[in-house]
Amino acid sequence: MDLTLLVALPVILPLLFGAVSLVMLNNHNVQRWLGAIGTASILIAACALLWQCREQGILVLEVGSWPAPFGIVLVADLLAAIMVLLAAITGFATALYSLKTVRKRFERFGYYPLLHLLLAGVNGAFLTGDIFNLYVWFEVLLVASFALLIQGGERAQMEGAIKYVTLNLLSSALFLTAIGLLYGLVGSLNMADIAQRLTQVEDQGMVTVVAMLFLIAFSIKAAAFPLFFWLPASYHTPQVAVSAIFAGLLTKVGVYALYRVFTLIFNAEVEFTHNILLWMAVLTMLTGVLGAAAQFEVRRILSFHIISQIGYMMLGLALYTPLALIGGVFYIMHHIIVKANLFLVAGLIYRLRGSFELKRLGGLYKDHPGLAVLFLIPALSLAGVPPLSGFFAKFILIKAGVEVHAWWAVGIALLVGLLTLYSMIKIWNEAFWKAVPEPAPAIPAPGRNGLLYWITGSLAAMTIAIGIFAEPIYQLAQQAAAQLLNPQLYINAVLGADSL
C-alpha cells in the first residue's frame, strides 16, 4: 500500500462508518457496534499516521493525483498527526461512553452517524493543505455539531444553539471573506503556495488586513476573547458525551487553524500580528477563569475553563519562540484529554446524583471514593499541579514567557493557574467533600457504571502518563514546533524542493 494513502484514512474511515451507520439507522445494536469499531479503527489509523510522520517527515497526499498547487492536498505534518491522534482518542472514549449514556431516542435521530461525521470534519480540518478545503471541513463539522447540540430539543438547548449557530456562521462568513481576499491577492488556495506567493505581494498592508480577518474568524471558532460568548451559552446544554467531545475537540480546531495560518502563511509581520495574539491570549485566560469563578453548575464551570485554557494555547503561538511553540503543542495534548475527561466525570456525577448543581450535590467522596480520585486527577492536572500533565504544559509556557520578558503574560498565566485551582477546589468541596444537602435529593436508581469508570480511568491514566513521561512527549512537541517554525519544510514537502 502506498504510504501516503495513510493520510486520507482518518477522513475516509469516519465517513465510511458514518454512511453505513446511517443506512442501519433502525438497528441499534449494529449502530453501537459501528460506533465503537469505527472510532477504534480511526484510533489505529491515527497511531500509524503519527508513527509514519515521525519516521518519514511530512506526508503529502495529492488527492486524485492532481499535482499541487492545482489539486487539493492532504498534508500530515507532526502537529496535524498529533491532533488527529488526540481527536481519535477523544472520539473513541466518547463513543464508548455513549454506549452507556445515550438514549435510544437520540440513537434513532442519528446520534452515531453524526458523531462519525463530526470526527470526519475534525480530521479533515487537521489534515487538509488547502485553505478553501479547510473552510469546507469546518462546515462539515459545524453542521454535525449543530445537530448533536440540539438533540433533545429542550429550551436551554434551543437558546444555546441559536447563539452557537449564529456566531459560528458569522465566523464562517468572515473566514470565507478572508479566503476571497487572499485569493484575490495571490491567486492560489494551496496553503504552501500561498505562503510562498505572499512574500511577492506588493501591498503588504492588505496582507495584514487579511491576516486580521483570519484571526477574527478563527478566534470565534476557538472561543477566544472577546468573541467567546457562544461557548458558555451552549456547551452545557447537550448530553454529556456530546459536551465532552465538543469540549475536547471543537475549539481546538480553531486553535489548530490559528497555529497553521500564523506560522505558515502570516509570519512576516510578527511584531504586529503576534502582539495582538498575545493580548487576546492574556485576556482570554483571565476572562475565562473569572467567568468560571462566578458559576455554580459543574458543566458551566468546566465550559468557562475551556476558554481560559484556550488562552494558554494562544499564548504559546503569540510568544512565537521555539520553546513557546513547544509549550503550546504540549498544552494542546494535555488539555484535550483532561478536558474531555472532566466532562465525562461530570456525567458520572450526574448519573450518581441526578444533578449538576453544586448546591444539590454532596457526599460523593464518602459514597464513591473511586470517582473522587478520578475527578481529582484531571482537575489537579488542569490547575497545573505537579507531577500531572498540566504542570509541565504550564511550566514550559511560563519559562518561554520569562525568556522573552513577557512579564505581564507570565504573571497572569500564573494567576490564572491559581484561580483554576480555586475553581477545581470549589467543585471538590461542594460535590465531594461537604455532606449531602438537606433535603436529600432523589438519587437515581443505580445503574451499572463499570464501563464509564474504565473510560475516565484510562483518560486519567493518560494524564498521569503524560506527566511521568514528559520527556518523550516534550521531544514530540519539540519536533512538531520545529516544523512549525520552519515553514519551508512544509512548502517543500507540498510543492517539491525545487519550487522556487
Partner 1 sequence: MTSLLAILIGCLYAAAIYMMLRRSVVKLVIGLILLSNAANLLIFTAAGLERGVPPLIEEGQQVIAGTAADPLAQALILTAIVIGFGVLAFAVVLIHRACEVVQTDDMNEMKGTD
- Residue numbers at the binding site for partner 1 (CB under 8 A): 132, 135-136, 139, 142-143, 146-147, 150, 153-156, 158-163, 165-166, 169-170, 172-173, 176-177, 179-181, 183-184, 189, 229, 232-234, 236-237
Q: Cα–Cα distance between 190 and 204 in angstroms, integer?
A: 19
Q: Compare residues 113 and 232 and give the one whose CB is closer to partner 1.
A: 232
**What one-letter code names the amino acid at 159?**
E
Q: Compare residues 77 and 130 and give the one whose CB is closer to partner 1.
A: 130
Q: Compare residues 90 and 243 and give the one whose CB is closer to partner 1.
A: 243
Report in angstroms how near the CB of residue 166 gets to partner 1 at its nearest: 6
Q: Cα–Cα distance between 193 and 230 in angstroms, integer?
A: 34
How many CB atoms are located within 10 Å of the residue 437 CB?
15
Q: Compare residues 170 and 283 and give the one whose CB is closer to partner 1.
A: 170
Which residues have a Cβ under 8 Å from the Cβ of 33 and sit 6 or more positions away?
A: none
DSSP E strand boundaries for 380-427: none
Q: Cα–Cα distance between 181 and 89 in angstroms, integer?
A: 37
Crossing angle of the two packed helices 251-260 and 322-353, in degrees rounded to 10:
170
> In this structure, what DSSP letter does residue 428 have?
I
* SS3 labels along 422-477: HHHHHHHHHHHHCCCCCCCCCCCCCCCCHHHHHHHHHHHHHHHHHHHCHHHHHHHH
Q: Compare residues 185 and 484 and give the one whose CB is closer to partner 1.
A: 185
Report in angstroms how near the CB of residue 308 gets to partner 1 at its nearest: 18
Report in angstroms how near the CB of residue 272 gets to partner 1 at its nearest: 23
Which residues have a Cβ under 8 Å from the Cβ of 124 and sit 6 or more positions away?
A: 11, 133, 136, 137, 140, 141
Q: Compare residues 155 and 405 and give the one whose CB is closer to partner 1.
A: 155
As given in the structure block, the three cell numbers for residue 309 are: 485554557
- CA 329 to each of CA 16, 304, 357: distance values in angstroms, whole numbers, following the listed order: 30, 21, 34
Report in angstroms how near the CB of residue 15 gets to partner 1 at its nearest: 17
User: CA angle at residue 143 from 137 to 146, to 5 degrees?
Assistant: 140
Report in angstroms how near the CB of residue 234 gets to partner 1 at its nearest: 7
Report in angstroms how near the CB of residue 180 gets to partner 1 at its nearest: 4
How many CB atoms are located within 10 Å of the residue 486 CB?
12
Report in angstroms how near the CB of residue 37 gets to partner 1 at its nearest: 29
Q: Compare residues 32 and 236 and give the one whose CB is closer to partner 1.
A: 236
Q: Compare residues 52 and 177 and give the one whose CB is closer to partner 1.
A: 177
Give me the residue label for grid cell 495529492: 62
Q: Cα–Cα distance between 369 and 380 in angstroms, integer?
A: 16
> In this structure, what DSSP letter does residue 388 have?
S
Report in angstroms how near the CB of residue 303 gets to partner 1 at its nearest: 10
Q: Compare residues 1 and 294 and give the one whose CB is closer to partner 1.
A: 294
> In this structure, what DSSP letter does residue 202 have?
S
Q: Compare residues 176 and 201 and give the one whose CB is closer to partner 1.
A: 176
Q: Compare residues 177 and 208 and give the one whose CB is closer to partner 1.
A: 177
Q: Are 163 and 147 in contact (CB under 8 A)?
A: no
Q: Cα–Cα distance between 293 and 309 in angstroms, integer?
A: 14
Q: Are 342 and 374 in contact (CB under 8 A)?
A: no
As given in the structure block, the three cell numbers for residue 36 are: 465503537
Report in angstroms how near the CB of residue 45 gets to partner 1 at its nearest: 27
Report in angstroms how near the CB of residue 162 gets to partner 1 at its nearest: 6
Report in angstroms how near the CB of residue 299 gets to partner 1 at its nearest: 11
Q: Compare residues 71 and 370 and give the one whose CB is closer to partner 1.
A: 71
As given in the structure block, the three cell numbers for residue 498 are: 525545487
Closest CA to 169 of 147, 142, 148: 142
Report in angstroms how near the CB of residue 341 gets to partner 1 at its nearest: 24
- Residues comprising the chain, all counted: 500
Cis peptide before 387 (omega within 30 of 0): yes
